Structure 1
Amino acid sequence: MTNVTTKILDAKGRVTLGTKYAGQTVVIDDSNPGCIIIKPMVMIPAEEAWLYENKEARNLLRQGLKDATDRNFTEATPDVDGDLAWLGDVEE
């Protein structure tokens, strides 16, 4: 069911949507003169956009969060010495 509300624009062409939408970021599509579409949006930093574009990474993240929620942790301990062994080969 559609909820339709009538609003009158003020002298500067503004309309209020009500406190329900206060502080939200929206995109306004007025490409069709007979229909204005206002969509609530969530903005993400550009350096984090790769995660939303990479399905495999997103699925791995979701699985990791599910494992953490389910307290499903690995039994193995990290091999810190092995992980850092390559540092001896790095030139300063």
Structure 2
Amino acid sequence: MTTKTLDSKGRLTLGPQYAGQLVIIDDSDSSQIVIRRAVALPVEEAWLFQNEKAQKLVAAGLRDAKAGEFVEGPDLDADLSAFDDE
């Protein structure tokens, strides 16, 4: 734990190791301020972090890919052969 003094404008520096980082400041309790490092992500991707089933499916897919386990892909030549007469 460290003691720091706010400057005349109410600013606090955390040090160069935190420079440029996004933080969440929780001052909902008047007796304490909690500063937590955070990451931002696009709104259209946030659903994944709110959906446990989707997270498990993505994690399983990544494990399979890392292990080189892939499903048989479509036979594009056979699919396109239907258009040979066209």
2:35 aligned with 1:38: yes
Q: What is the alpha-carbon root mean square deviation over aligned residues?
A: 1.6
- Structure 2 residue aligned with 1:26, among 23, 36, 46? 23
TM-score by length of 2: 0.80
- Structure 1 residue aligned with 2:74, among 71, 78, 82? 78
**Amino acid in structure 2 at the alignment position of 1:17:** L
Residue 84 of structure 2 corresponds to which residue in structure 1?
A: none
Task: Percent identity, please.
Answer: 51
Secondary structure of the structure 2 residue equivalent to 1:72: coil
TM-score by length of 1: 0.75
Residue 66 of structure 1 corresponds to which residue in structure 2?
A: 63
Cα distance change, pair 53–16 in 1 and its aligned pair in 2 (3 A): same
Higher-strand-fraction structure: 1
**Amino acid in structure 2 at the alignment position of 1:20:** Q
Q: How many residues align?
A: 78
Residue 90 of structure 1 corresponds to which residue in structure 2?
A: none
Residues 48-90 of structure 1, C-alpha deviations (whole Å, 9 max, x = no match): 111111212111110111111111222x2314429xxxxxxxx
Structure 2 unpaired stretches of 5+: 81-86
Structure 1 unpaired stretches of 5+: 83-92
Runs of 4+ more than 2 Å apart = 79-82
